[in-house]
Amino acid sequence: MRALLVEDDASSALLSRSVMESDGFAVDVATTAQEGLTCAMVTDYDVIVLDLGLPDGNGITIVQALRRSGRAIPVMVLTGNNDRATTVLALDAGADDYVTKPLMIDEFRARVRALIRRGGAKRTEQIAFGNVVLNRLSRQLFVDGSEVSLTAKELPLLEHLLLHGDEVISRSELLERVWDMHFDPGSNVVDVNVARIRRKLADAGANVRIGTRRGVGFVLTLQGDSASEPSASDVS
């Protein structure tokens, strides 16, 4: 899942970002209203976490612009304790929820999860492929009913492949969805993480495999499904 954090305070941004990353989000950070608006308009985020007091204006303008353009991306507003009036304005403008700063980490996590749960049909709670089941809210993976532990990067990577079962997904798409937009595209992190997930799936007895399409990307297939099983030359 991909999140946009619009926050000009560096230490606050660092905290919110690390909390969301540990929950499996790829997080882009914008530090001005203008930058936040540009990101929000060009990328399909699962959630936007928005500080209201930004150096070049009020974050409410981002909510207004999003809603005017018909975008229903869930927006969580970060607000100061003594700023009830602004919070009300933000909710009226189309923000979905708010948390007060300084952040209570558990509450922040729970509210972001609740927002995504309400985020619509596209955000299915559970994805199943073969004997592999991912619960997107609890962030747990099960193979044949037994939980398999994945890291904060392995989980969203597999999630993206599960959401697009049988489709070939490119390395650059995985880098963008799972890491963030500034990640070095020459990096081999995708391959390293795919290799680890493969091993974990195999060890757990999954009947699903991650195939490699050389020069293109990866595809999740059911084992024994000869139609989608890659030929030997496809496997690197």
Residues 45-64 that bind Ca ion (CB under 5 A): 51, 53
Please give the residues from 185 up to 204 whose contact with Ca ion meets the rule CB under 5 A: none
DSSP class of residue 139 equals T
Q: Collapsing DSSP states into helix, strand and coil, what is residue 188?
A: coil
Candidates 3, 5, 8, 148: give the one binding Ca ion (CB under 5 A): 8
When the beta carbons of 54 and 66 are compared against Ca ion, the nearer one is: 54
- Torsion sign over Cα 19, 21, 25, 26: positive
Footprint (CB under 5 A) of Ca ion, residues 212-231: none
C-alpha 232/C-alpha 220 separation (Å) is 16
Size of the site for Ca ion (CB under 5 A): 3
CB of 92 to Ca ion, least distance (A): 20
Residues 223, 207 contacting (CB under 8 angstroms): yes
Shortest reach from residue 126's CB to Ca ion, in Å: 37
The residue whose Cβ lies closest to Ca ion is 53
35 binds Ca ion (CB under 5 A): no
Cα 69 to chain center, whole Å? Answer: 22
The length of the chain is 236
Residues with Cβ within 8 Å of 235's Cβ and at least 6 positions away in sequence, in order, are 211, 212
Residue whose CB is less far from Ca ion, 51 or 96: 51
Least separation in angstroms between residue 62's CB and Ca ion is 13
Minimum separation from the CB atom of position 58 to Ca ion (A): 10
Contact 134, 157 (CB under 8 A): no
Binding site for Ca ion (CB under 5 A): 8, 51, 53
